[in-house]
Structure 1
Amino acid sequence: MSGTTERPVGLIGLGIMGSAMSANLIAAGFTVVGHDIAAPAMEAFARAGGRPARSAAEVAAQAEIVLTSLPSTAALHAVVEEIARAPGACRILPETSTFPLEDKERARQALEAAGVVMLDCPLSGSGSQARVRDVLVYASGPREAYDRCLPVFRGFSRAPHFLGAFGNGMKMKFVANLLVAVHTAAAGEAFALARKAGLDPAQMFEVVSDGAGGSRALQVRGRMLIEDRYLPVETMPLELWRKDMRAIADFASALACPTPMFSATVPLFNAAVASGLGDQDTAAVCAVIETMAGVRRPGAG
């Protein structure tokens, strides 16, 4: 599939993840028609070779497959309502955001009534990983629709995984994000301990990453932790991450499943936001732990 032989691919939501997805699809030879309510995002999309659309409905009018990458459930339902009123050429809508299952199911039903198949397809990976096609697609829903979207998924991801019934994608994402929360907090804790012990953080990162203590979270966030620099955001802003954490907690609570390790990280991320770091990368949780430990960065006043 490419823009030269078939309809363009649609993409609604051109933020950190959506812009990376669109750039990779364009690089893979797809024509991408996209929309975002933010003018700067649309301008960047056009500069990258995308075809801007004035609305979600205008995207649906041109694309059989319309991906969504949205910041909130309110945005999801607004987009779905608009497309359900005028589906146009849209037949399949892979939804890649991290939202509660109930909201995705409500959206699925609204689209089904309009003749559009929705796939639950959250992504595993950060914004920096998405830029280099190092994300996974946790796809769930009708297999025929998944197979139709497979070339598109391969255009922006390292590997798509089909997980069966609609909703299994989000369930898998909740499990994965639980580990991300624990590993991110653990990485920050390790850096705080290393600094408190007088170790060189760059050397600690190099040595630990190469051994049994290494993790993907440490690899992705290591440079930020070494430099004490959490802007620009490489993974996700802390304020947005707290939304994902609430969804994990609700999911586990509904299953009466204890999550002691995950639960222990919640106050740390909350404290980071309360400290004014909500717009910074999730790795900024390290700054909170360092403050608790009395660690003073070189050059700090």
Structure 2
Amino acid sequence: MDSQLGFIGLGQMGQAITANLVAKAGLRSPLVLYNRNRQRAEKHSSKIGHSLVARDLAELVSTCDIIWTCLEDEKAVCEVFAEILKLDLGGKLFVECSTILPHAMCQIAQRIQDGDANVVAMPVFGEPSMARKGLLVCVPAGPKSCVERIRPYLIDVICRAVVDLSGEEPAKSCLLKCIGNVLIMTTIEQIAEAHVFAEKSGLGTKHMASLIETIFPRPPHTVYSSNMVSGDYAKGGSIVGVAKARTLTSQILDLALASRTSLKSYKVAVDHLAVAEAHAGPQCDIMGIYGAVRVENGLPFSQGGCWKEHEPSGNA
């Protein structure tokens, strides 16, 4: 493929996506990488090969035709684009994969278009282990011609499926990502409650895990269930920390309120995030919802009972 690709943001998701782009996309030119932590970028480039690290954002933007961004949160996205938008963007195509709110995407898209460039908003569904296996679901929205330019990099490269919103405003895919978070959180909640019910009723989590794997053989159900019964949620090293998740879920509840939508089951899951943070701290993984449901039902937060409770700071 002839386009020169650049990629900004090398967290767990960014590393997984770039590894698949290098391995499967047939890139003629090395993938150009940028991360605020240059050492991380250099280490990752050495690992995946066929890539190089830009000195700064200006170098990456000036040398690349298609520029992907996959950043931690909306604040990071706004900070990065504040720098990018100072540069000459003529003819560039941006592919924004972070999870941000629709109104933020609207503002960024307008300024990119004012700079004679284009943008496809393409949030993804799936956690890092799924990204490493190329099992993400991508949701691109933006001009049809721009979505077509990036389509060769999607199925069988970084994802297993596409929910195609081409021709829609970029912010539409961000809205779908936010509403999709309702499905994710309530799924985690349901699996957590089922496992606790199985444990307390005497059935045990082993049989419940087998049922989940049989009825829902593909991720994310199997991933969530395995994380819970293995106790991985209580071993540190979060996929998504509860503090970050609570910020996003609060914003999504505001979106729901603005559209006069009641999300009762979602609110239950959101409340359990707060319980998980109280027990295990802000870096606890969102699967700590399972620990919260356990505590609510008279069980220890961790299955093994070895979890060291978080000691809150003096800040209420």
TM-score, normalised to structure 1, is: 0.90
Relative to structure 1, the CA distance from residue 110 to residue 62 in structure 2 (aligned partners, 3 Å threshold; closer, same or farther) is same
Shift of residue 242, structure 1, vs aligned partner: 2.0
Cα 1:277–1:188, aligned 2, differ >3 Å: closer, same or farther?
farther
Equivalent residue for 1:225, pick from 209, 228, 235: 228
CA deviations 1:213-261 (Å, max 9, x no partner) are 7784431112211111125657422222223312321221221111111
Residues 56 and 246 from structure 1, CA distance in 2 versus in 1: closer, same or farther, beyond 3 angstroms? farther
**Pairwise mapping of residues 2-21 of structure 1 onto structure 2 (< 5 A)?**
6-21=2-17
Matched with 2:57 is 56
Q: What is the match of residue 257 of structure 1? A: 261
Aligned to 1:238: 242
Structure 1: which 5+ residue stretches go unaligned?
A: none
CA-to-aligned-CA distance 1:192-228 (integer Å, 9 cap, x gap): 22222233323320123313x7784431112211111
Aligned residue type for 1:293: N
Q: How does 1:151-190 map to 2 (within 5 A)?
A: 151-154=152-155, 155-163=157-165, 164-166=167-169, 167-190=171-194
Aligned to 1:283: 287
Cα shift at 1:11: 0.9
| Unaligned runs of at least 5 residues, structure 2 | 307-316
SS in 1 for 2:206: helix
2:6–2:68 Cα contact (<8 Å) kept: yes
The residue correspondences of 1:80-159 to structure 2 (distance < 5 A) are 80-87=81-88, 91-154=92-155, 155-159=157-161
Give 1:34-45 correspondences, 5 Å limit. Answer: 34-45=33-44
Question: SS in structure 1 opposite 2:85?
Answer: helix
Residue-pair matches, total = 296
Residues 30-62 of structure 1, C-alpha deviations (whole Å, 9 max, x = no match): 332111112453133222223111222221122
Are the structure 2 counterparts of residues 43 and 243 from structure 1 closer, same or farther at C-alpha, using a change threshold of 3 Å?
farther
Give CA-to-partner distance per residue, 1:46-100, whole Å, 9 cap, x none: 2222311122222112211111111122221222222222246761101111111
- State which drifts further: 67-76 or 237-246: 237-246
Give the letter for the 1:204 counterpart. Answer: M
Q: Aligned partners of 1:34 and 1:90: how far apart in 2?
A: 20
Q: Is the 8 A contact 1:20 1:131 kept in 2?
A: yes
After the TM superposition, which of the residue ranges 268-277 and 285-294 deviates more from structure 2?
A: 268-277
Q: Report the AA paired with residue 300 of structure 1.
A: G
How far off its partner does 1:280 sit? Answer: 3.0
Aligned-residue offset at 1:134: 0.7
The more displaced of 230-239 and 116-125 is 230-239
Does the 8 Å contact 2:16/2:131 carry over to 1?
A: yes
For 1:143 and 1:21, the matched residues in 2 are separated by 22
**Percent identity of the aligned residues?**
23
Q: Does 1:205 align with 2:204?
A: no
* Alpha-carbon distance in structure 1 between the residues aligned to 2:33 and 2:272: 37
Match 1:300 to one of 300, 305, 315: 305
| 3-state SS of paired residue (1:10) | strand
Q: Distance in 2 between matches of 1:214 and 1:257?
A: 31
Is the alpha carbon distance of 1:24 and 1:233 closer, same or farther for their aligned partners in structure 2, counting shifts above 3 Å?
farther
1:14 aligned counterpart, secondary structure: coil
**Would the aligned equivalents of 2:33 and 2:60 in 1 still touch at CA under 8 Å?**
yes
Is the 1:126–1:234 Cα contact (8 Å) retained in structure 2?
no
The answer to whether 1:32 aligns with 2:31 is yes
Kindly indicate whether the alpha-carbon contact (under 8 Å) linking 1:35 and 1:55 is maintained by their aligned counterparts in 2: yes
Shift in CA distance, 234/21, structure 1 to aligned 2, threshold 3 Å = farther
Local SS of the residue matching 1:158 = strand
In the alignment, residue 42 of structure 1 is paired with which amino acid? Answer: A
TM-score (norm 2): 0.86
Q: Secondary structure at the match of 1:24?
A: helix
User: Relative to structure 1, is the Cα distance of residues 87 and 130 closer, same or farther in structure 2, using a 3 angstrom cutoff?
Assistant: farther
Write out per-residue CA displacement over residues 238-290 of structure 1, whole angstroms, 9 at most, x where no aligned residue.
22222331232122122111111112221101111222343232212111111
SS at match of 2:142: coil
Is residue 89–residue 116 contact of structure 2 (8 Å, CA) maintained in 1?
A: no
RMSD: 2.2
